[in-house]
Amino acid sequence: MDTRSHLAQADLAPLLATYVHLSGDRPLLETYRPYITGPWAFHEATPEMLKEALYDRLATLLDDLHAGRRHAARPDRATLHEIMNTCVGQPVPDEYLPLILHDIGVDETAPLDVSWRTPPERARLDRFKVLIIGAGESGLCAAIKLRQIGIGFVMVERNDHVGGTWYENDYPGCAVDTPNHFYQYSFEPNHDWSRYFSPAREIRAYLDRCADKYGIRPLIRFRTEVLALHWEDSSSVWSVRLRRSDGVIETLRVQAVISAVGHISIPSVPSLPGLDEYEGPRFHTSRWDHSVALNSKRVGMIGTGASGMQVGPSIIDEVASLSIFQRSAQWAIRNPLYFSEVKPGKKWALKNVPFYANWYRFQLFWASADGLHPKLRVDPGWTHHPLSLNAEHDAIRQSLVDHLTEQLEGDAELIRKAMPAYPPYGKRMLRDNHWYRMLKNPKTALVTESIERVTREGVRTADGVEHPLDVIVFATGFQASRLTWPMEITGRGSVTLRERWGEDDPRAYLGMTVPGFPNLFLMFGPNTNLAHGGSAIFHSECQTRYILLALRELIESGSDSLECRPDVHDEYNRRVDDAHAQMVWTHPRVSSWYRNSSGRVFSLSPWRLLDYWDMTRHFDPAQYRIERTSA
Ligand code: NAP
């Protein structure tokens, strides 16, 4: 294929952005602006003639640049801002410029990679060791960046492989539902994702490649589990008790700990009456038993969250019947690209056209995350509908209702059962991966009666109906509030993290640091989960940057411990709660695992990605008690 044919398979808005970026031809934006009506524009509306004209222009420009007949323009900030607005069909506030210019790689201000201000003495660095717990995407991110700056670490992983949640979850249909070209490290773009929402195995392979490319794998102690951490005040070290792969208990001493154990890794299986009497195989989605063949089996699936919604349509063809036990119906949004493969021309453009990948990432950032955030804020004067928050949110709700109704082809009973009773985005928005089509399948039974008990042969519901089942799948989620569990983490004054947090009220400053627990950093900690959209990997990069800044402060200042001030921590958590009070996640119709038993949202970040990026790009020593214990 020639350049032009490749370009014809790429996305129009980022191609336009790229062309104007490289050529400086700002007026051209006006020509295309009327057809780009939002960040998820699929350009059906753009006349063919205009599409063709853009491919021609860009192909010629790339040839000229390649041959040295022209030089790439260096657009000023105003032009870049105009490109952003046009690219997503919406005005992007000025405040986004620093983040986006940085991400696009045209930020002339300080790079965000952390480097030494005063390189420490070798001996000091050699004495400083960090423990990283967990080799999932966040632990790997921390390891890569620590290695780059030269801070030594020990990395342990309880599994025999890297990948964390992407390693543990390999149920049928498991795939990412954040656009993949944003769900990747910014410093390691993969231009070969097979799909826009790739299957879990591809993400596993990506993380595998990163572990190898950055030299992390040989540094990981696999099948090694941290049992306990104990802060020793007299020497300012964490004493770490771990179980090695051979079962032997070992003690390590390290100066700092990064816990990257994830937020949703401990399966939650409801203790249903009679469960132990059941004679067939049963397993949780994250512990899928591949030795159990499902073909021609009567399968029961309990739960209809993100995991269940991926499992159901993936197994429906092979099973004899699928009984779905639904406690609450979930919203599911359509995305025309959900099943699409990324075309070769688009992959080519990502690899070969300067800035195209960056502009595409920006488009996804806006479409799948911050562009949505204001729509999830409650308008106090809004009374139009009990399940919407404001006019824009109501438009989303209506389009979801329309989609559901259309997909269920007017089946009133099914529509009643499948219609959620909470405002959209109050829980994670799911992708309609043929879920509704599966509900229409004669093999599917959507059971909304509550489960009374499990019997030897299946499940009995409260209406007395017996549901004979050969296999039971628990798609019932995770024990999210038990962050860092089952590790026993004991900080200053012999207080454990569990005592500090109680049963289900984890709190931290920026989701990362906790008073009384010096030199301990949590990744994917309290109030850092994302539900308006966005990529957990984006957050991991923010957290890694902040942790590196903190460690740099500790090492360069010759100090031994760094502990978040209680007033800073408490004030931050007040702000988190105040922000949540304005958002969909505290709406009275929403009950979710994001909230604890007193209703507080402990899991989710209330912030836009921009806010969190801003809060974590500097480290303010005044917010910490920084001490030197050694002479
Ligand atoms: P989940 O969202 O917590 O869903 C659990 C489901 O089980 C819900 O439908 C819940 O009903 C139901 N349930 C829980 N306890 C029950 C009980 N005792 N009886 C009957 N039903 C019960 O869990 P998940 O689906 O595993 O997803 C967890 C998180 O993992 C997601 O939010 C997401 O962050 C992540 N995830 C991501 C992807 C992806 O990127 N593609 C895929 C899977 C998971 P209620 O709604 O009534 O509570």
Q: Is the peptide bond before 486 cis (omega within 30 degrees of 0)?
A: yes
Lowest mean pLDDT among 104-113, 236-245, 339-348, 451-460: 104-113
43: pLDDT confidence band, cut at 50, 70 and 90?
Answer: low
For 129, phi and psi rounded to 5 degrees?
-125, 140
CA dist 313 and 321 (Å) reads 12
Ligand 1 atom having least distance to the Cα of 591 = 48
Is residue 404 lining ligand 1, measured as CB closer than 6 Å? no
Is residue 523 lining ligand 1, measured as CB closer than 6 Å? no
pLDDT of residue 109: 57
pLDDT of residue 101: 85
CA dist 387 and 518 (Å) reads 43
Q: In what order do the strands lie in the sheet with 451-454?
A: 451-454, 458-461, 466-468
Ligand 1 atom having least distance to the Cα of 286 = 26
Is residue 477 lining ligand 1, measured as CB closer than 6 Å? yes
Cα–ligand 1 centroid distance for 615 (angstroms): 30
Is residue 481 lining ligand 1, measured as CB closer than 6 Å? no
Average pLDDT over the chain, rounded to whole? 95
Ligand 1 atom having least distance to the Cα of 270 = 18
Cα–ligand 1 centroid distance for 305 (angstroms): 4
What does the DSSP 8-state code read for residue 187?
T
pLDDT of residue 461: 98
Cα–ligand 1 centroid distance for 147 (angstroms): 36
Query: Is residue 107 scored above 80 in pLDDT?
Result: no
Q: What is the pTM (predicted TM-score) of this model?
A: 0.96
CA dist 318 and 58 (Å) reads 47
CA dist 356 and 149 (Å) reads 29
The model's pLDDT over 477-492, given as tens digits with 9 standing for 90+, comes to 999 989 999 999 999 9
Count of beta carbons in the 10 Å neighbourhood of residue 470: 20
The model's pLDDT over 11-27, given as tens digits with 9 standing for 90+, comes to 999 999 999 999 999 99
Is residue 475 lining ligand 1, measured as CB closer than 6 Å? yes
pLDDT of residue 67: 96
Query: Is residue 511 scored above 90 in pLDDT?
Result: yes
CA 261, 183, 2 angle in degrees (round to 5)? Answer: 150
pLDDT of residue 110: 54
Cα–ligand 1 centroid distance for 369 (angstroms): 21
The model's pLDDT over 224-233, given as tens digits with 9 standing for 90+, comes to 999 999 999 9
Strand 466-468 to 256-259 pairing: unpaired
438: pLDDT confidence band, cut at 50, 70 and 90?
Answer: very high
- Looking up tokens 């989609």 gives 403
Residue nearest atom 2 of ligand 1, based on CA coordinates? 305
CA dist 225 and 242 (Å) reads 5
Ligand 1 atom having least distance to the Cα of 593 = 3
Amino acid identity of 585?
W
Is residue 304 lining ligand 1, measured as CB closer than 6 Å? yes
